[in-house]
Amino acid sequence: MKIGTPKEIFEGERRVAMTPESAAALQKLGHDCVVETGAGAEAGFSDADYKAAGVEVVKTAAALWKAADIVAKVRAPDATEMKRLREDQTLISFFSPVADEAKMQSAAKKGATVVAMEMIPRISRAQKMDALSSMANIAGYRAVIEAGNNFGRFFTGQITAAGKVPPAKVLVVGAGVAGLAAIGTSTSLGAITYAFDVRPEVAEQVESMGAEFVYLDFEEEQQDGSSSGGYASVSSPEFREAQLAKFRELAPEMDIVITTALIPNREAPELWTEDMVKSMKPGSVIVDLAAEKGGNCKLTVADEKIVTENGVTIIGYTDFPSRMATQSSSLYATNIRHLMTDLTPEKDGVINHDMEDDVIRGATIAHAKEVTFPPPPPKVAAIAAAPKKEAAKELTPEEKRAEEVAAFKAQTKNQVTLLAIGGALVLLAGLYTPASFMQHFIVFVLSVFIGFQVIWGVAHSLHTPLMAVTNAISSIVILGALIQIGSSSGVITFLAIFGIFMAAINIFGGFLVTRRMLAMFQKS
């Protein structure tokens, strides 16, 4: 089949859904690739780059929509593009099925298949196709860069001859993919970073990245903050009030606030109120990543940057991924390429739209002249519960004592049996071997016993350092073997050579392991 990517017509959109690199991978799946001329120009990919990758370049969008069996794009189609969509054609793009219900119905009526990239289920197997996460990662990074561009001071603290510069304080509200990207960028720039989220499981992730997690003094704090699918759920009114109270407490101290709280198919919750903005210091910056859905800040204006009367800059851009078009296009095209890999399991260029597949079914919103949105929840394999153990029967003191005596007798019997067998073997050896052998043999048996007891008592974490100590013992073994290697007995010579070989392995291995262990504590 032929996969086509038109030039994005949404104003200001610079991304492209197919790159020369992804086109090469798609061709390995048996597909032919076609792009509209200039489709990747603003993302840094020329028509010559596409032609070099074996991609056909057509002059008009109409020609592309007519030629392609599958159309992959970034933004949802407009009215003109919807007219060009035809029966048995597959469209892969962001679509917003809730907001664009009429377009979804129109596509289904035509008999076209529509795959909405934002509907990819958030399950482990689908992470490689999760375009929302890919774009959120870029948006979180870009938000910090944008904040720094509008912030009048350093992120990191400095002590100079001209005076001391305090580090910036950054608060990230929401620790999803975008929030964690913002946290990582902020801490790497040297800012003191704080983060808040309603999901308790992200606290450890936040702290592992060098930020401080903001906890609430609330009895039911973050008990129901997570929902299925990896997103935050709607908080209770009581929790919201405690949350806003904490933000009011933090607002005067923060230099930069980055808000990322957004639940799919809902308006963005208002988390940063007008009075919080007024309490912030002049020169502070707010970057609202939820501006497209109304914004987390009360004063956010979508697609604009405003400065309040008290000197706070509020950035409400909705095109952060597009501002890093080359990187965004590469990641998004890779997401689509992975989706096409699942849609083309035989790598024969033929689409197999398997509606029994959780990922494909979850992302498909129109297929076979039917609207298939909303999808059923993904099937999660049930984990077989381990059979419950029967409750231990409560024993009386007499019964416990009887069990202990029986266990002691059994243990003693085993030990006596082993000692008897060992004694018999030693006696047998003494009857048929020279006295000199018995002296060495007894020393050997005692050394094995003592060595076993010593090693058995060493904790597992100390086994690696112990390798270095055994090097000394191995060197003694080598010296002894070297003395015996000139023996007239072939057996003794063989054993001496074998002993040198084994001890050498232990020595070299011990030094190698010790060196690697020490390298762990050395600064690069």
Active-site residues, by number, are 122, 127, 130, 133, 231
Q: 288 near 318, Cβ under 8 Å? A: no
C-alpha to C-alpha distance for 171 and 272, rounded to whole angstroms? 12
Residue 3 three-state SS:
strand
Query: What is the residue whose two structure tokens read 């910056």?
Result: 285
State the SS3 of 270-294: CCECHHHHHHCCCCCEEEECCHHHC
Nearest of 93, 90, 88 to residue 76 by alpha carbon: 93
Helices (H), 127-261: 131-150, 177-188, 202-208, 237-250
Q: Any idea of the CA torsion for 497, 500, 506, 510, to the nearest 10 degrees?
A: -150
CA distances from 43 to 7, 171, 241 (A): 11, 31, 44
Residue 243 three-state SS:
helix
C-alpha to C-alpha distance for 325 and 13, rounded to whole angstroms? 9
Bridge partner residues of 93 (DSSP) = 116
C-alpha to C-alpha distance for 248 and 368, rounded to whole angstroms? 52
345 prior amide bond cis, ω within 30: no
252 prior amide bond cis, ω within 30: no
- Written as six digits, the tokens of 10 are 């949404």
CA distances from 174 to 136, 150, 163, 212, 258 (A): 12, 21, 35, 13, 9
Q: Any idea of the CA torsion for 40, 44, 49, 53, to the nearest 10 degrees?
A: -70
Give the other-Cβ count within 10 Å of 7's Cβ.
Answer: 18
Q: Specify the length of the chain in residues.
A: 524
